[in-house]
Amino acid sequence: MNKGLAKRIVPCLDVKDGQTVKGTNFVNLRQAGDPVALGKAYSEQGADELVFLDITASFEGRKTFTEMVTHVAQEINIPFTVGGGINALEDVERLLYAGADKVSVNSAAIRRPELIDEIANRFGSQVCVCAIDARLDNDGWHCYVKGGRERVELGLFEWAKEVEQRGAGEILFTSMNHDGVKNGYANEALARLSDDLSIPIIASGGAGCKEHFRDVFLEGKADAALAASVFHFGEIPIPELKKYLKQEGINVRL
């Protein structure tokens, strides 16, 4: 894989009932604003991509979320990925039709791994992002489903390999130990994923300062770094972050 590609900065918006929210270790949510307005602002500030996650993917929530995807597509000119409650090809179709560029699958893919093959075969690998929520437990890295509430008998590294073999175009790896804690990304696990696989790895969970982004690219060998609260609450402006990374010798698009 061409590791010379520009590294990507990706704000993530967790959407609940039409509002952006942010938590710590997957709980204690607080509001962070209108997802369409935030998405537009990030696009203008130089974000490379966006991720929108529907965290209340009930039927009612889905309708609101699909409408939001349409509004986002009209306002931004960078690729965006949507996830949350995608269980079948018709969900993918609905979101792509609404204007999304890629979809992210997580629990549904663990329940029925063939879903990855189906999405890749129908829409192309580039559309399929496989999100993996994992935690470093006493017996190693394990995958979790249901928004991090339930551990499954799958190791992070074996599942990541299978996901790649089934045709996913990217992996979005969230370390639950690091989520919202702001003390850096899970660089050791990320570097191992990067060495094991040839598809891009998006790092998620742990951004607290500009140095963490530098480290995730240099030590974690990630292809993209995703963050939420440091962007939503204005702690790290994207243009400033990119300038800093450039000075540190990291290839980013300014």
Residue 195 appears among annotated catalytic residues: no
Residue 242 token pair: 């990119």
Is 14 considered catalytic here?
A: yes
Per annotation, catalytic residue among 48, 54, 91, 133? 133
Q: Say what the alpha-carbon torsion angle 196, 125, 220, 172 is, to the nearest 10 degrees.
A: -120
Label residue 8 exposed, middle or buried (CB < 10 Å: 0-12, 13-18, 19+).
Answer: buried
Q: Which amino acid is at 111?
A: R
Q: Which residues of 166-192 are buried (b: 16+ CB within 10 A; e: fewer)?
A: bbbbbbbbbbbbbbbebebbbbebbbb
Give the torsion sign (CA, 67, 73, 75, 81): positive
Residues in CB range of 146: below 8 A, 6 or more apart: 107
The residues annotated as belonging to the active site are 14, 133
